Structure 1
Amino acid sequence: MSFSRATLVVASILAITVSARPAEKRWGGWGGSWSGGSHHWWNSAPAPSSGDFGKRWGLQAGSCDMAAAVQNMNLAAADPPLPPPHPSLSLFQVVVGRGTQNYTCDLSNSTAVPIPVGALATLFDISCVAATAKELLPALSIVALDLPVPDSDDTDSPIMQDMSGHHYFLDDTTPFFNMDTELHQYGMGALQKANASDAPNDAYAGPGGTGNGAVQWLKLDVKPAAQDSWKQVYRLDTAGGVPPETCEEATPTIEVPYAAVYWLFK
Structure 2
Amino acid sequence: MRCSLLLVPALSASAWAAPAFPKVTAALAPNVQAISDYFNLLASKVQENRRAGVAPICDLSKLSLPAEAEALGQPAPGLYLKHVAIGRGTQNYTCDLSNSTAVPQANGAVATLYNASCVTSAFPDVGAMLTRASLHFDVADNAALQRLAPADLPVSGIHYFTDGTTPFFGLDTAQWKLGEGNFGKNASTTAPLTAAKGKKGEAAVPWLRLTAKGSANTGGLQEVYRVETVGGSPPATCKGLPASFEIQYSTQYWFYASS
Please, what TM-score do these two structures have when normalized by structure 1? 0.73
Matched ranges for 1:1-266 at <5 A: 14=8, 17=11, 30=20, 45=35, 64-69=58-63, 72-74=64-66, 76-78=67-69, 81-148=71-138, 150-156=139-145, 159=148, 162-207=154-199, 210-229=200-219, 230-266=221-257
Pick closer, same or farther for the CA change 1:14–1:212 going to 2, 3 Å: closer
SS of the residue corresponding to residue 30 of structure 1 reads coil
Cα distance, 1:224 vs structure 2: 3.6
Contact 1:16–1:128 (CA under 8 A) maintained in structure 2: no
Please, what TM-score do these two structures have when normalized by structure 2? 0.75
CA deviation profile, 1:64-95 (whole Å, cap 9, x unmatched): 211012xx311x315x7210111211111101
SS of the residue corresponding to residue 72 of structure 2 reads coil
Give distance in 1, aligned partners of 2:147 and 2:198.
26
Cα distance, 1:216 vs structure 2: 0.2
Contact 2:60–2:82 (CA under 8 A) maintained in structure 1: yes
> 1:57 maps to which residue?
none
Give distance in 2, aligned partners of 1:181 and 1:63.
23
> 1:39 maps to which residue?
none
Give distance in 2, aligned partners of 1:86 and 1:161.
29
Pick closer, same or farther for the CA change 1:63–1:222 going to 2, 3 Å: farther
Give distance in 1, aligned partners of 2:128 and 2:163.
29
Pick closer, same or farther for the CA change 1:184–1:16 going to 2, 3 Å: closer
Pick closer, same or farther for the CA change 1:173–1:147 going to 2, 3 Å: same
CA deviation profile, 1:136-190 (whole Å, cap 9, x unmatched): 2321221011111x12524145558811011111111101101112333221010
Contact 1:222–1:231 (CA under 8 A) maintained in structure 2: yes
Pick closer, same or farther for the CA change 1:161–1:140 going to 2, 3 Å: closer
Q: Which moves more between the two structures, 92-101 or 153-162?
A: 153-162
Greater share of helix residues, 1 or 2?
2
Give distance in 2, aligned partners of 1:154 and 1:83.
35
Contact 1:17–1:128 (CA under 8 A) maintained in structure 2: no
Name structure 2 gaps, 5 residues minimum: 1-6, 24-34, 44-55
Identity %: 38
Contact 1:222–1:228 (CA under 8 A) maintained in structure 2: no
Pick closer, same or farther for the CA change 1:113–1:202 going to 2, 3 Å: same
Give distance in 2, aligned partners of 1:233 and 1:139.
20
CA deviation profile, 1:10-61 (whole Å, cap 9, x unmatched): xxx727649xxxxxxx99x62799xxxxxxxxxxx5667x9xxxxxxxxxxx
Cα distance, 1:225 vs structure 2: 3.4
Q: Which moves more between the two structures, 136-145 or 154-163?
A: 154-163
Cα distance, 1:63 vs structure 2: 7.8
SS of the residue corresponding to residue 81 of structure 1 reads helix
Contact 1:66–1:127 (CA under 8 A) maintained in structure 2: yes
SS of the residue corresponding to residue 225 of structure 1 reads coil
For these two proteins, the number of residue pairs brought into alignment is: 221
Name structure 1 gaps, 5 residues minimum: 1-12, 19-25, 34-44, 51-61
**Paired AA for residue 205 in structure 1:** K
SS of the residue corresponding to residue 121 of structure 2 reads helix
Cα distance, 1:134 vs structure 2: 1.4
Task: State the superposition RMSD in angstroms.
Answer: 3.2
